[in-house]
Amino acid sequence: RDFNERCAQCSEVNWGLTDGGRFYCRSCHNVTERTREVVNTDFITNSRVQTISKGLRKQEKNDGGCEWYICEGFQLVLKKQAEALEALGVCPQMKDEILCNFWRCYLQKSKQAYCQRPARETVKALSVCESSTDVESDPERPSLLHLLSLSESEGDVQTDCSFASSVSKVSESASVYSGSVDGSLYLMKNQKEKLRMTMPMTLSFCYMALLWLREPITLSEFLRFVVEGHIPYLNVFQHFPEKMKLCGLDLKIFCVESWPVYEEVFKQMHELAVFLDLPRFPDITDSCFLHPDMLCMKYLMEANLPDELHNWTCRVVKKIGIGEVDFLTLMPGNKSTRKVKYDVLAAAVIVVVLKLLFLLDDHYEWLLSELAEERNKNNTEGGPYFEFKKWYEVVKHSLDVEQKKLEEERAKYLWRCEKPLFYSVKNKSKVLKRRQMVVNLQNQFGKLSDSVRRAEKPNPSSFQLSWSEENTDGSCFHGHSLKGILQEKCGFLTAMNPDYWLCTIKLCNEKLCGHLAHYREVEFPQSYHFVLGLFSFLLRIQPSYIHDEVCMIEHKLFSKKLCKKRKYKTVIRK
């Protein structure tokens, strides 16, 4: 109150005190060199000075570290992931507007920040709020709750000072086991009624923001970029500031030792949308990348299939209504709508079209291939006829090579990070010495074996398999014709094949079984399994999830005929 000079940066008169006794501007967080003078020694008994001395002791105790909370660590992870996505070409507003608002809403809903702590809660049932000293007492370390967007004023964060002090007292007893203030309590508390933040959930946050912006990136593609290291996830805690000491139980929270799972990230994204009480997402129209017609075109190119198949995929999408806006758009909390996996749905549409035209029963497709081969020998005009057998051989060879490469890369992946980790303060020196010894040995063996350093990671690409029409070896099938397997009927091109076999007669209850249908490789033709395996590799998911979508599309496509022939046979007339 006695310091009335205007701030040199923003010209405001709104001063606060740091733990070191220096003045800082509450409006712009500018720190001055001026300190508050204490004339009366009796003033030392004031609670304010006690807080300052306590903070200084704690910094010395933690070897230069600062107090930080688990939610701050997750926020730093989200910030790094958002910056990586922005570097890949995602809309800049994703980080500062969309993802930031989602995160603020989560902190408020989970009562970790932007809230008043309920008086009935105790420290044992802790929901950690940001300490008021983070905002008011230490502007030299801006609160990580402001890292996503620094445009926010300090008045938006409302916390309980007495509650924060009680957290500090509890954390002192657990400081040996955790570098964070609330690391031990975070794992102890029961949060069944709330969504506890985890590392996979950071990916759910990012994908939810991507979906809100309707960015041209699917969940499978996003997770592939994560695995390839283009988006921080594995060992991301290496990017934490030096003052944020990470040890003990913090490692169980932030240390990831498994690849991200599609189903887990997808499920948590929908749970998050409901928990945050989000409104209906922006409409997925036919001009959006996530529309089945768009994605089918992409996957047809990557699977090296003829371009003419796109007309058939569009007909299937229109016939069963899975291209409608209401079907594709996410509406959180609406239990009557199905949760759409856009990439899996598009792949399943292509599989259904291949079954419509080639049957994929290990017999009919090879017969058509022989006929196309004979016609190509006498074909002198137009493009070549599509041969399923030749396509199978070319794609299988490339697929085997890429799968082997992927398996080798995963087998060679070093899960240990460069930054040494320790679970307690006692063994810190031992871990550091051991780590230094390992590095020295690696360098010595590297010099003896003349090992070549790994090349830099290639730029991320939307296509894992690329095919060029300029190749003269005939390995690209994009321009091949389907005339050999089609016939004109009533002014429309229809398949010569009159039959179709269903994957299943009756769908299971997805909520009870987890799947719409059960997939066992031995029960289905090898051609069908190969096609599923191809798209399973492209999407990095289990073939059973694509099989589920295929069954769903089939039952929509043949719903009328299924009612009549369900009890008799699985092969129906189209």
Q: What are 358-369's pLDDT values in tens digits?
A: 999 999 999 999
- pLDDT at residue 284 in the model: 96
Residues 367/566, Cβ–Cβ less than 8 Å: no
Distance CA 166, CA 433 (A): 36
Decide: residue 323, CB within 10 A, 0-12 exposed, 13-18 middle, 19+ buried: buried
Ranges of each domain in the chain? 1-36, 341-404+481-565
- Residue-level pLDDT at 289: 96
pLDDT mean over 340-358: 96
Whether 341 shows a pLDDT value over 90: the answer reads yes
pLDDT greater than 80 at residue 193: no
- pLDDT more than 90, % of the chain: 41
Residues 297 and 251: beta-carbon distance below 8 Å: no
Q: In the predicted model, what is the mean pLDDT of residues 315-342?
A: 93
pLDDT of 188 over the 80 cut: no
Q: Who wins on pLDDT, 41 or 155?
A: 41
d(CA 218, CA 202): 16
Overall pTM surpassing 0.85 (yes/no): no
pLDDT(533) > 60: yes
- pLDDT tens by residue, 422-458: 555 566 667 667 767 777 776 776 666 655 555 556 6
Strand partners, 488: 493
Q: Could you tell me what percent of the chain has a pLDDT over 70?
A: 71
pLDDT category of residue 30 using cuts at 50, 70 and 90:
confident
Going from the C-alpha of 344 to that of each of 59, 139, 262, 350, the distances in angstroms are 51, 48, 11, 10
Q: Of residues 179 and 405, which shows the higher confidence score?
A: 405
Residue with tokens 């983070």: 134
- CA-based angle 481:485:487, to the nearest 5? 105
In terms of DSSP bridges, do strands 499-501 and 492-495 run parallel, antiparallel, or are they unpaired? Answer: unpaired
pLDDT confidence bin for 119, thresholds 50/70/90: very low
Q: What is the pLDDT of residue 381?
A: 76
Tokens at 150, concatenated: 């620094």
**Confidence class of residue 8 from pLDDT cuts 50, 70 and 90?**
confident
Rounded-to-10 torsion of CA 310, 313, 315, 317 = -140
Q: What's the CA gap between 142 and 60, in Å, rounded?
A: 20
> Is a pLDDT exceeding 50 seen at residue 545?
yes
Lowest mean pLDDT among 245-259, 277-291, 302-316, 533-547: 245-259
CB of 271 within 8 A of CB of 119? no
pLDDT at 163: 38
Bridge partner residues of 23 (DSSP): 17
Residue 48 has pLDDT above 60, yes or no: no
